[in-house]
Structure 1
């Protein structure tokens, strides 16, 4: 690899602002905010609006209204619910 063309890869804490869930991982993202992590070290803090802790797909709280509506329309059209 060529030297000097790649961004700095370092440890960063990502925090879900809606649930408070946070995790430490490697990233090239930078931030002016910092946080002291469980290991006693200080890392850059990146705030997110949604993560796997709050996203409906991962939490199982997703809504199937569009699919339910399609099934209802099909049943009404072809009279299967008589």
Structure 2
């Protein structure tokens, strides 16, 4: 099994700590997140999504499968458990 890139491991750790600044520090310029078919482009959209669905949900993220990784994009699956 391939290892997750360090940026993804750091992102997971920041999410699990509830650390927004650490979370966004893991992204390059012009970040995009796709979650359950919805696309969030840019830090403002990602912050709104995170406040509702990720860091704001005070959950725990587990990295489960690395699907694709190159210098511009990482695709992976997770398991998510939250307090909601």
Q: Normalising to structure 1: TM-score of the pair?
A: 0.19
More helix by share: 2
Larger C-alpha radius of gyration, 1 or 2? Answer: 1
Calculate the TM-score normalised by the size of structure 2.
0.19
